[in-house]
């Protein structure tokens, strides 16, 4: 598993300054943290460099080596802060380097700095919530207010969460890890997966989808794939996100109502995203090292390439879920396996798998378990039991959109 090297700092001439700064910020921050180790101080210095660039570049033009420019300014700010406690009062000074950029002054920029920053934010010593927050703040470039809004918590609460995460990393020291180290990379993939899921099906939000979160997860996973192009699970995760997100326009009605897969207008699915996702998946599978993200992407691809819901190859999906249960067993996988089994082998087979899933305990009270139970009862022709299960699922649903959908399902059965 390698990282593509780069010795240049190419910048499209027509790229907006705001987008350029957003793209370069994690690379510059990763480079500073790699060299100096103080996450908080490095982040402050990079923010000051970004402020300077935002004020200067629209007037003077983007320099030939913008990442190096930012690195020089940020390093100078960092040195200033380290030398004098009064330097913080000069935070708003927009002093830019006038001499030619000398990369030797600050150390060479590396293509894997963004990846190292991502791996640092995903240190297993941090809780999953802290990993997600710090990743979105440091790597994604979202403000604390934006992250707080995405996860429906007060801004002060999110600020404390991020501060505690950075303090934890500072206390244990910046771990010097080999770029692409498998255990840490697996955590990073899981964090990006969780961020995407929260954006695709938001928990507790008035809107069922949070496009900014899903989009940011895809952007960061694209960057990770660019840096680690030979890892099939990185490729598989990007494929999974694209294949799943391709349906987002058809998932809700104009009034915000949830539209189930069987009823979606497939002409509204993003054909380009589906094509890219399928191509990525085929490339990953060809490497012969199949993992859970590739298998989930394969399931999504079967759904996405079926012309209609009735044309879905449920037998293939069932086989993929059986393989996924062997590779990465979990109650959620078993729950989805139950739906596929019911389609192929009948509701009794699905119900047996459902009972196995809820016996684990982690899903016993989850709304999705009750929703699947309702679906299986309906397939079996027991409308009263299905309606009761739909009502129970609605009572437990975390988002208003899901709650309303499940209540409508119960009402549809008329029991």
User: Which tens digits make up the pLDDT trace of 250-285?
Assistant: 998 888 888 999 999 999 999 999 999 999 999 999
pLDDT class of 173 with cuts at 50, 70, 90: low
Contacts of 170 (CB under 8 A, 6+ apart): 38, 39, 40
Q: Is residue 215 over pLDDT 70?
A: yes
Distance of alpha carbon 49 from alpha carbon 152, whole angstroms: 30
Distance of alpha carbon 335 from alpha carbon 288, whole angstroms: 27
Structure tokens at 66: 């913008």
Q: Is residue 4 over pLDDT 50?
A: no
Q: Is residue 137 over pLDDT 70?
A: yes
Q: CA angle at residue 182 from 180 to 113, to 5 degrees?
A: 20
> What does the pLDDT look like over 379-395, one tens digit per residue?
999 999 999 999 999 99
The number of beta carbons lying within 10 Å of the beta carbon of residue 333 is 20
The number of beta carbons lying within 10 Å of the beta carbon of residue 125 is 12
Point out the least confidently predicted range of 155-159, 347-351, 361-365, 404-408.
Answer: 361-365
Contacts of 104 (CB under 8 A, 6+ apart): none
Q: What is the pLDDT of residue 80?
A: 78
Distance of alpha carbon 85 from alpha carbon 76, whole angstroms: 15
Q: What is the pLDDT of residue 231?
A: 94
DSSP 308: S
Q: What is the pLDDT of residue 393?
A: 95
pLDDT class of 227 with cuts at 50, 70, 90: confident
Contacts of 48 (CB under 8 A, 6+ apart): 73, 74, 77, 91
| Torsion angle defined by CA atoms of residues 112, 115, 117 and 122, in that order, rounded to the nearest 10 degrees | -150
pLDDT class of 99 with cuts at 50, 70, 90: very low
Distance of alpha carbon 288 from alpha carbon 258, whole angstroms: 37
Distance of alpha carbon 364 from alpha carbon 339, whole angstroms: 16
Q: Tokens 């993929």 appear where?
A: 320
Structure tokens at 301: 């691809």
Distance of alpha carbon 170 from alpha carbon 131, whole angstroms: 15
Residue 204 CB burial class (10 angstroms; 0-12, 13-18, ≥19) = exposed
Q: What is the pLDDT of residue 244?
A: 96
Q: Is residue 12 over pLDDT 80?
A: no
Name the more confident of 174 and 336. 336
pLDDT class of 203 with cuts at 50, 70, 90: low
Q: What is the pLDDT of residue 107?
A: 46
Continuous H helices in 85-231: 113-121, 128-134, 144-150, 155-172, 182-200, 211-227
Three-class SS of residue 233? Answer: helix
Mean pLDDT, range 293-301, rounded to an integer: 98
pTM above 0.85, yes or no: no
The 10 Å CB-count burial string (b at 16+, else e) for 154-192 is: eeeebbebbeebbebbeeeebeeeebbeeebbebbbbbb
Among 345, 253, 245, 341, CA closest to 297:
245
> What does the pLDDT look like over 299-318, one tens digit per residue?
999 999 999 999 999 999 99
CB 179 within 8 Å of CB 115: yes
Name the more confident of 39 and 11. 39
> What does the pLDDT look like over 338-381, one tens digit per residue?
999 999 999 999 999 999 999 878 787 889 999 999 999 999 99
Name the more confident of 89 and 29. 29
The 10 Å CB-count burial string (b at 16+, else e) for 285-302 is: beeeebbbbbbbbbbbbb
């Amino acid at each position: 598993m390698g990282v593509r090297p780069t010795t240049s700092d190419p910048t499209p001439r027509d790229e907006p300054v705001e987008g350029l700064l957003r793209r370069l910020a994690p690379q510059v921050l990763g480079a500073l943290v790699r060299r100096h180790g103080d996450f908080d101080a490095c982040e402050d210095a990079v923010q000051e460099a970004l402020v300077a660039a935002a004020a200067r570049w629209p007037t003077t033009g983007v320099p030939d080596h913008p990442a190096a420019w930012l690195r020089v300014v940020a390093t100078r700010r960092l040195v200033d802060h380290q030398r004098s406690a009064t330097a913080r009062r000069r935070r708003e000074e927009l002093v830019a380097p006038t001499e030619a950029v000398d990369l030797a002054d600050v150390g060479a920029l590396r293509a894997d700095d963004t990846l190292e920053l991502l791996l640092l934010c995903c240190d297993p010593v941090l809780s999953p919530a802290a990993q997600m927050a710090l990743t979105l703040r440091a790597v994604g470039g979202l403000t604390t207010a934006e992250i707080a809004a995405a996860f429906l918590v007060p801004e002060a609460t999110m600020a404390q969460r991020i501060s505690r995460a950075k303090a934890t990393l500072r206390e244990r020291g910046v771990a010097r890890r080999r770029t692409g180290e498998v255990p840490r990379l697996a955590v990073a993939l899981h964090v990006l997966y969780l961020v995407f899921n929260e954006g695709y099906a938001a928990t507790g939000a008035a809107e069922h989808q949070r496009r900014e979160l899903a989009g940011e997860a895809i952007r960061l996973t694209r960057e990770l794939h660019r840096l680690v192009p030979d890892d099939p699970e990185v490729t598989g995760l990007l494929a999974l996100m694209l294949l799943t997100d391709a349906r987002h326009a058809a998932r809700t009605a104009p009034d915000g109502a949830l539209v189930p897969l069987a009823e979606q207008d497939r002409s509204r699915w993003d054909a380009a995203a589906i094509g890219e996702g399928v191509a990525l998946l085929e490339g990953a599978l060809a490497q012969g090292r199949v993992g859970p993200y590739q298998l989930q992407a394969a399931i999504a691809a079967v759904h996405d390439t079926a012309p209609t819901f009735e044309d879905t190859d449920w037998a293939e999906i069932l086989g993929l879920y059986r393989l996924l249960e062997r590779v990465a067993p979990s109650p959620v996988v078993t729950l989805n396996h139950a739906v596929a089994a019911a389609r192929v082998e009948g509701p009794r087979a699905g119900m047996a798998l459902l009972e196995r899933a809820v016996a684990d305990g982690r899903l016993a009270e989850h709304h999705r378990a009750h929703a699947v139970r309702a679906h299986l009862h309906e397939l079996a022709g027991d409308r009263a039991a299905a309606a009761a299960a739909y009502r129970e699922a609605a009572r437990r649903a975390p988002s208003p959109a899901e709650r309303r959908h499940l209540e409508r399902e119960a009402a549809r059965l008329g029991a």
